[in-house]
Structure 1
Amino acid sequence: MKQLLRQGRLFALAPPLYALLLGLGLMSLAWNLVAMLLHPLLPPDTGRQLGRRVIAGAYRLFWAVASATRMMRIDARCLDALRDEPGLILAANHPTMLDALLLVARLPRSACIMKAGLMKNVFLGAGARLAHYIRNDSAHTMVRLAVQNLRRGGQLVIFPEGTRTVTPPLNAFRPGVTLIAKLAQAPIQTVFIDTDSPYLGKGWPLWRVPPLPLVFTLRLGQRFAPTQDSAALLVQLEHYFRHSMEQSALDAPPECQTFRAPISS
């Protein structure tokens, strides 16, 4: 009986959740049509700034509606302290497909590293190109563009796992983030994304309704200075993430921390 009641509740929640996701899709499609027209007309710097701010604003609206309708509870206030800081890498764990939206919504200076195929996506491609997001089909090009972005004063959102978490609490880190930090002489600010929901994690389809509300809490962790030995720093970074996430699982539910931890040398 309890199982039937639970299934009935999830079925009742499906239309509002689908409406929310449909609204995001339509908003993305509309902006991409506009971005397609603007891209050849605007100077690169103007297009970059406009593209990133519009995407951040759209995602922030999405989260505001999700919170107002009580489908999601989100605490990402800690990112506001980093909003205007130039030349910063934000490295986060990657539990769900919604993680990039969480970070970009609060960081209008930021660029994401995206799968190359998404650059051709009708809902994302034109807007991502206008915002000068970075495609990952070539490691050399990805690193070069990421370094250029940071040297121009932009921020970089990156998930060192490379894909959504498959083996909790964390996949093995892939090379790239610490090399980019070394070449751009940019610090790495760690960000932890805590959620109690498997929704849009690996193997969870978009149409499958999860228990609601979805809860996301973001925490700022330690900040790492770039080093000449980027391989050693990558090992140190992964160890820090893994240890912190395992410890967090044993502690009380965390709150969004708005302080910045000291730089690690």
Structure 2
Amino acid sequence: MRPILRLAKAVLLAPPLYLLLLGLGLMSLAWNLVAMVLYPLLPAGRGRDVGRAAIAHGYRLFWTVACACGMMRIDARCLSALRDEQGLVIIANHPTMLDALLLVAHLPHSACIMKASLMRNVFLGAGARLARYIRNDSARTMVRLAVDDLREGGQLVVFPEGTRTTGGRLNAFRPGVTLIARLAQAPIQTVFIDTDSPYLGKGWPIWRVPPLPIVFHLRLGERFAPMADSNGLTARLEQYFQQHLTPGPAPEAAAAECQSPRAPTLS
């Protein structure tokens, strides 16, 4: 009986979830068309401010609608203390593909380091370029742009694992963030993203309905001063996250927890 009830629930909740994601896609596409026009017209500084504020407001709207219709429950109140702070590096664990959307929605002055391929994405690229997000195809250029942005009062959101956390098991931290902090003389604020939802984690496709509501709870950790020994600070940060991270569900258990109808295959 239980599997039948879970399947029935998944069938009923699939349409609103897909409509929510469709709305996000259409909103992103519309803004990127506008950003494509604004990019050559606005000075770099003004374009950065407009681009980041627009992205934050758009994602904030998405989260508000998702919570209002009962699909998600989000507690990100801790980020309000960081909202207007300048020259700050913010690092977090990375359980799902929604993490960046969650952070920048509440940090309207922040920039992300993005894969170079995403800068060409029709749903993300033009908006990211207008907001002067930082591409990662060249390590030297990435570090220089990030340092310049921090010195100009921006914030930098980084997931030092470089890929999504799996079941609360942290991946090894990459050293770039501590080098950026040292060169910019910017403090590093740690943020923990706690969720027991498997949705859009490693191995969870976008069309599979997860247990609902999806719950995110964010909490601030310690703040670390930049150090001359960047590698030593990277090791300290990784150890700190290992000690204070709340374990998530194992991927196998999460997949068994909620089965949902498969999306049709286009041939």
Structure 2-normalised TM-score? 0.91
CA distance in 2, matches of 1:116, 1:75: 31
Counterpart contact for 2:168–2:247, Cα < 8 Å = no
Deviation string 1:148-168 (CA, Å, 9 cap, x unpaired) is 110000000000000111463
The answer for the alignment partner of 2:253 in structure 1 is none
The answer for the alignment partner of 2:4 in structure 1 is 4
In the TM superposition, residue 115 of structure 1 has moved relative to its aligned partner by 0.8
CA distance in 1, matches of 2:28, 2:206: 16
The answer for the alignment partner of 1:25 in structure 2 is 25
Counterpart contact for 2:143–2:176, Cα < 8 Å = yes
Aligned to 2:162, the other structure's residue is in SS state coil
Structure 1 window deviating more from structure 2 (194-203 vs 159-168): it is: 159-168
The answer for the alignment partner of 2:160 in structure 1 is 160
In the TM superposition, residue 140 of structure 1 has moved relative to its aligned partner by 1.0
- For 1:1-265, list aligned pairs within 5 A: 1-166=1-166, 168-245=168-245, 248-249=246-247
Question: Which aligned segments of 4 or more residues in structure 1 are displaced greater than 2 angstroms?
Answer: 166-169
Aligned to 2:169, the other structure's residue is in SS state coil
In the TM superposition, residue 10 of structure 1 has moved relative to its aligned partner by 0.7
In the TM superposition, residue 139 of structure 1 has moved relative to its aligned partner by 1.1
Give the number of aligned pairs: 248
Q: 1:6 is aligned with what amino acid?
A: R
Q: 2:191 is aligned with what amino acid?
A: V
CA distance in 2, matches of 1:218, 1:236: 21
Aligned to 2:108, the other structure's residue is in SS state coil
Task: Using the aligned pairs only, state the percent identity.
Answer: 74
Counterpart contact for 2:167–2:247, Cα < 8 Å = no
In the TM superposition, residue 138 of structure 1 has moved relative to its aligned partner by 1.1
Structure 1-normalised TM-score? 0.92
The answer for the alignment partner of 1:262 in structure 2 is none
Unaligned runs of 5+ in 2: 249-267
